[in-house]
Amino acid sequence: MQRKPEWLKVKTSASEKRQAVETLLQKLTLSTVCSEASCPNICECFGRGTATFMILGRECTRNCTFCCVGRETPRPLDPDEPKNVAKATAELGLRHVVVTSVTRDDLPDGGAGHFAETIRQIRSACPDTVVEVLIPDFKGDGAALRTVTDAAPDIVNHNVETVKRLYPEVRPMAVYERSLDLLAHVKKNAPNIYTKSGVMVGLGETEEEVVEVMRDLRSVGCDILTVGQYLAPSKQHHPVVEYVHPDVFASYKETAERLGFSYVASAPLVRSSYNADRANAALRIL
Closest CA to 279 of 91, 159, 130: 130
pLDDT more than 70, % of the chain: 90
Q: In sequence order, which ranges of 28-173 are alpha helices (DSSP H)? A: 33-36, 42-47, 81-92, 112-125, 142-150, 167-170
Q: 104 or 4: whose pLDDT is higher?
A: 104
Q: In sequence order, which ranges of the chain are alpha helices (DSSP H)? A: 16-27, 33-36, 42-47, 81-92, 112-125, 142-150, 167-170, 176-189, 207-219, 246-259, 279-283
13 burial (CB, 10 Å; 0-12 / 13-18 / 19+) is exposed
Say what the pLDDT of residue 9 is. 79
Q: 81 or 4: whose pLDDT is higher?
A: 81
Candidate from 41-45, 86-90, 163-167, 209-213 with smallest mean pLDDT: 41-45
Say what the pLDDT of residue 73 is. 84
Say what the pLDDT of residue 72 is. 77
Say what the pLDDT of residue 46 is. 64
Banded model confidence at residue 179, pLDDT cuts 50, 70, 90: very high
pLDDT more than 90, % of the chain: 66
Say what the pLDDT of residue 283 is. 86
pLDDT in tens, 27-75: 998 988 666 556 666 666 766 667 789 999 988 998 888 777 767 788 9
Average confidence (pLDDT) over 130-142: 96
Q: Are 134 and 98 in contact (CB under 8 A)?
A: yes
Say what the pLDDT of residue 84 is. 95
Q: 274 or 53: whose pLDDT is higher?
A: 53
Structural domains of the chain, ranges and CATH numbers in brackets:
12-280 (3.20.20.70)
pLDDT in tens, 152-165: 999 999 999 999 99
Candidate from 36-40, 98-102, 159-163, 243-247 with smallest mean pLDDT: 36-40
Say what the pLDDT of residue 235 is. 81
In this predicted structure, the answer to whether residue 251 has a pLDDT above a threshold of 60 is yes
Say what the pLDDT of residue 31 is. 83
Euclidean distance between CA atoms 175 and 10, whole angstroms:
33
Question: What's the mean pLDDT when you consider all of the chain?
Answer: 90
35 burial (CB, 10 Å; 0-12 / 13-18 / 19+) is middle
pLDDT in tens, 9-20: 776 665 677 788
Banded model confidence at residue 202, pLDDT cuts 50, 70, 90: very high
Closest CA to 32 of 48, 16, 45, 51: 51
Query: Global pTM?
Result: 0.93
Angle subtended by helix axes 142-150 and 112-125, to nearest 10 = 0
Say what the pLDDT of residue 38 is. 61
Euclidean distance between CA atoms 193 and 209, whole angstroms:
27
